[in-house]
Amino acid sequence: MAGPLLQLSHVHASYGPVHALRGVNVTVNEGEIVTLIGANGAGKSTLLMTICGNPKPTQGQILFQDKSLVGIPPHLIATQGIAQVPEGRRIFPRMTVLENLQLGATLADPAHFAEDLATCYGLFPILEKRQAQRAGTLSGGEQQMLAISRALMSRPRMLLLDEPSLGLAPLIIRQIFQVIEQLNRERGMTILLVEQNAYHALKLAHRAYVLASGEVVLTGSGRELLANEQVRAAYLEGGAH
């Protein structure tokens, strides 16, 4: 393959009068973890949602495996090999853990189901214990694990994660980040990670983008940004966690 796995060039997106993305350029290469940090309302979630076709970009190009994603209806984006763990998890609360995972495998070959299920239970053993439980009754951390597992069930080439650490205790955050790292290291999963938790995200990521008011204001390797004065001042006040 010639180009990067995912490439956004000059992408604009709006919600009615709100111009949420203003010409964003982001590249994600095969096998990378790329993180996107920025203040509340910077447009991070919008960026992930735009990749998934809702809202549609008003300008610019989105290429995935050299194929344009612009104009593909949202439910067909997943068929391209992109799995999204949306902001706020969005598990199916009244359905059981196992049913949630089955729904995650909607696009996958049923022959893989048992194997993929075992993989998810291997990553998050607690889910196996909870598999007959209604997903809405899981703890926040367990729900996040379920949301990630559900996305993995479709065997994606790329995972989009929107604030997986949201509202979780430090211990659980560490576990989630370990799994993200493990997915990348052992299985070469390409990951685009949106995070408020800039310290963890930058430590983990190969490369990072800082988004402000719908624009990329800074980019570099995770390590560089971690050392950057501006980033430290804006997103890492209080130093290391």
Ligand X SMILES: Nc1ncnc2c1ncn2[C@@H]1O[C@H](COP(=O)(O)OP(=O)(O)OP(=O)(O)O)[C@@H](O)[C@H]1O
Task: Confirm if 231 and 198 have CB atoms less than 8 A apart.
Answer: yes
42 binds, among Mg ion, ligand X, another protein, none (CB under 5 to 8 A by kind): ligand X
Q: Count other C-beta atoms under 10 Å from residue 76's C-beta.
A: 11
41 binds ligand X (CB under 6 A): yes
Nearer to ligand X, 44 or 130 (CB): 44
Task: Confirm if 11 and 21 have CB atoms less than 8 A apart.
Answer: yes
The interface region with another protein, picked from 8-16, 94-102, 204-212, 229-237 by CB under 8 A, is 94-102
Nearer to another protein, 18 or 76 (CB): 76
Nearer to another protein, 180 or 208 (CB): 180
The interface region with ligand X, picked from 38-46, 105-113, 122-130, 222-230 by CB under 6 A, is 38-46
Q: Name which of 6, 12, 9 is nearest 56 in CA terms.
A: 12
Nearer to another protein, 8 or 83 (CB): 83
Cα–Cα distance measured from residue 57 to residue 63, given in angstroms and rounded to the nearest whole number: 12
Q: Which listed residue (96, 102, 131, 196) binds ligand X by CB under 6 A?
A: 196
Residue 208, helix vs strand vs coil: strand
| Cβ within 8 Å of residue 135, ≥6 positions away | 91, 92, 93, 94, 95, 96, 97, 99, 100, 143, 146
95 binds, among another protein, Mg ion, ligand X, none (CB under 5 to 8 A by kind): another protein
Which residues are at the interface with ligand X (CB under 6 A)? 15, 18, 20, 38, 40-46, 87, 196
